[in-house]
Structure 1
Amino acid sequence: MDNDSTSTRIAVLIDCDNVSPKHAAAVLEELATYGTPTVKRAYGDWTTTNLTGWKAELHRHAIQPVQQFAYTVGKNSSDSALIIDAMDLLWQGNVEAFALVSSDSDFTRLATRLRESGKRVYGMGQRKTPESLRRAVDQFIFLELLQEQDREEQVEVARTAPQGADAQPEAGAATRINLQSALTKAINATSGDDGWSGLGPVGQHLSRAHADFDPRDFGHQKLSTLVDEQPYLETRADGSRLQVRLKQRRGGRSRG
């Protein structure tokens, strides 16, 4: 993981006419690897029924909906609204990177313009995304890969899930975070080739992906003792730093 990512502010601009709401969580989880999404906006005509599935995701992830009426049949006004907002954000200078979540090649020139101004641009879309847009960004991430990765991590979580309440928050604590899933994703996102990750990067990823994460919700004052208690993790000391990884499978190394 890039050491500078802890201070990188990302503007996440989502073309909801072009992207399924099922990708919302995975998109934000992936971007937490590269920085902090400080601007999260979703574009579409929210007066229609086409975007009904997005509404729950907007609330869940604190994404700001941007209303754009379709003034002309066959024309996507949301694209224009997204482009205008991106240029406004560029000139305001409050972010270091942009994430354009769309498979629409109409954003190719926008991506190029943002990069010309020294901003890092992430593209996130389906495999059908035209090559023009994929080549216009600094890094393009396929949504299908994120979905596949999420499925694999959920399988791993289910395989190693402890029996009992080891991975559950204390009574009365916030229950929105699946601790094992969150830790698995954070370790996979920050680990090296050997599977080990520093506790610091893990904690930073957790904070960016889950703003309400607090080890005290799980009965621990520190992340280090919380991690040390999880039966699906192993820890080791690297000098004065603590490292963590997913426990190895017998006969092979666990993913991560």
Structure 2
Amino acid sequence: MQKLAVLIDADNSSISSIGPILEEIAKYGIASVKRVYGDWSNDSLKNWRDILLLNAITPVQQFAYTVGKDATDMILIIDAMDLLYSGSLDGFCIVSSDSDFTPLASRIRESGLNVYGFGKKSTPDAFKKACDKFIFIENLITDNLASDKKIEATSTTNKNQNDINDLDKPTLNLIYKAVKDNADDSGWAYLGNVGTYISTVKPDFDTRNYGYAKLSGLIQASSLFETKLRGSQLFLRKLSFGTFVKLVHKAIANSSSNEWAEIDTVIEFIMTKEPDLSIKNYGFNNLKEAILGITHGWIEINKTKIKIGRPMPN
């Protein structure tokens, strides 16, 4: 487990978020150091006492020497550098929505340590992108009230359209690229690698923004990807009817010596090669209906037999 330092900017954090933040941090490692910075002589921070005692967080005093200046930033940064040079930590968790900590996050990452940021959705992009991962506290506060959306047993056109609207275009394109860049020759990509790729490119990506606790739930509910399990590992690839047509072509070539192949034989081949294939994702009720629905001359049909009409482009 990673040994982490949790440094909290009390001036830019809320009491209600501390418990959920510490629970989230436990996913990444052990909070070996827990400190919160502020001017504790200020009445605005008096309500922090109970949460500090409950979570064994050490308060660090910093008087506000000048009105309008955030003196706590400097003492937090000084402490962070001291902890960095001690060489006893694997990463830092910076709890603040203040972009002033952007250089600190960058400096820590230059030393090879991980930086996890926690702040509001309004946090400037500069700080979010300086972190290895940035988590919105709004998601954490409501996380206990939310649960994974359930995937419907059937798929409809209207449902697909609603699911597409859940994802903004840049995020959807990022997921597509993550799948493409991590895919094998058949187009399948391991979900773990896809998630790592997305988090690297977009540190503030969080499936909870879209109402899902995990990436697997978001992917499966989007109806934009095929999914299958290999052991306990989930794989996905971009949903494309062209992929299905190529599979039918392969089945015909495998089962026919004179071009024509029995539809039932083709179906048997597909079920053997792709046992997890959900044809309902393509809008059909069964494999035979999907095969007979292939248009544009890709196959020719003669009662119970089919043959390749023209080859699919690569």
Alpha-carbon distance between aligned partners in 1 of 2:135 and 2:214, rounded to the nearest angstrom:
19
Alignment of 1:141-220 (within 5 A): 141-152=135-146, 193=216
Partner in structure 1 of residue 89 of structure 2: 95
Between structure 1 and structure 2, the one with the greater Rg is: 2
Alpha-carbon distance between aligned partners in 2 of 1:193 and 1:132, rounded to the nearest angstrom:
28
Is 1:105 the counterpart of 2:99? The answer is yes
Alpha-carbon distance between aligned partners in 2 of 1:192 and 1:19, rounded to the nearest angstrom:
27
Cα separation, partners in 2 of 1:149 and 1:86, compared to 1, 3 Å: same
SS of 1:50's partner is: helix
The answer to which structure has the higher helix fraction is 2
Q: Deviations over 1:153-177 (max 9, x none)?
A: 6xxxxxxxxxxxxxxxxxxxxxxxx
Partner in structure 2 of residue 18 of structure 1: 12
Q: Deviations over 1:180-230 (max 9, x none)?
A: xxxxxxxxxx99959xxxxxxxxxxxxxxxxxxxxxxxxxxxxxxxxxxxx
Equivalenced residues, count: 152
Aligned residue type for 1:86: A
Partner in structure 2 of residue 130 of structure 1: 124
In the alignment, structure 2 segments of 5+ residues that lack a partner are: 148-212, 218-314
Give the share of equivalent positions with the same residue, in percent.
Answer: 51
Alpha-carbon distance between aligned partners in 1 of 2:69 and 2:100, rounded to the nearest angstrom:
12
Q: Deviations over 1:35-63 (max 9, x none)?
A: 00000000000011111221110000000
Aligned residue type for 1:58: L
TM-score by length of 1: 0.57
Q: 2:51 aligns with which of 50, 57, 68?
A: 57
TM-aligned CA deviation for residue 147 of structure 1: 1.0
Deviating above 6 A after TM superposition, structure 1's stretches of 4 or more consecutive aligned residues are none
SS of 1:152's partner is: coil
Alignment of 1:111-122 (within 5 A): 111-122=105-116
Aligned residue type for 1:52: K
SS of 1:90's partner is: helix
SS of 1:17's partner is: helix
In the alignment, structure 1 segments of 5+ residues that lack a partner are: 1-6, 154-189, 195-256
Cα separation, partners in 2 of 1:135 and 1:191, compared to 1, 3 Å: closer
Aligned residue type for 1:72: T
TM-score by length of 2: 0.47
Aligned residue type for 1:62: A
SS of 1:100's partner is: strand
Partner in structure 1 of residue 74 of structure 2: 80
C-alpha RMSD over aligned residues:
1.7
Cα separation, partners in 2 of 1:148 and 1:45, compared to 1, 3 Å: same
Alpha-carbon distance between aligned partners in 2 of 1:79 and 1:9, rounded to the nearest angstrom:
23
